[in-house]
């Protein structure tokens, strides 16, 4: 068995999402300055929202509340995937970096959906 999960930072979904946030901040540093209040801000907020919703969901007492926040996480992740596509399509990131980050979003999505399924199975 794995180690005991006592904090949201113990969740693989949070750890992978946190790494994604750091990569998004690094990537967006190279975006044009005029995007600071546009795409840069949106991408950073979406990425941070992913980890924040995981943290908040973890702290909730009821399974229903946990699932609610983890589903909101999926929404933020989908927003970030859309924003990455926009960044690629307008030339702010190359296809290699885009592919790396897109793959990381898929990994995070699978981990979050795993959390949702795990909690849902306890409700039934």
Write out the residue range of the structural domain in which residue 77 sits. 9-123
Check: CB of residue 73 under 8 Å from CB of residue 112: yes
Residue 49 lies in a domain: yes
Residue 76 lies in a domain: yes
Q: What is the count of structural domains for the chain? A: 1
Residue 2 lies in a domain: no
Residue 60 lies in a domain: yes
Does the pLDDT value for residue 1 go beyond 60?
A: no
For 85-117, what is each residue's pLDDT tens digit?
999 999 999 999 999 999 999 999 999 999 999
pLDDT score at 2: 61
**Interatomic CA distance for residues 54 and 112, integer angstroms:** 8
pLDDT score at 124: 63
What CATH number did the domain enclosing 22 receive? Answer: 1.20.1440.60
């Amino acid at each position: 068995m794995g180690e005991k999960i006592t904090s949201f930072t113990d969740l693989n979904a949070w750890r992978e999402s946190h790494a994604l946030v750091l990569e998004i901040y690094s990537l967006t540093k190279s975006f044009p300055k005029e995007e600071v209040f546009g795409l840069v801000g949106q991408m950073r907020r979406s990425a941070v929202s992913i980890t924040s919703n995981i943290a908040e969901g973890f702290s909730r007492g009821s399974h229903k509340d946990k699932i609610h926040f983890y589903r909101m996480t999926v929404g933020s992740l989908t927003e970030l995937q859309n924003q990455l596509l926009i960044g690629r399509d307008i030339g702010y990131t190359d296809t290699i970096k885009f592919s790396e980050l897109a793959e990381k979003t898929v990994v995070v999505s699978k981990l979050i959906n795993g959390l949702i399924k795990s909690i849902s199975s306890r409700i039934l």
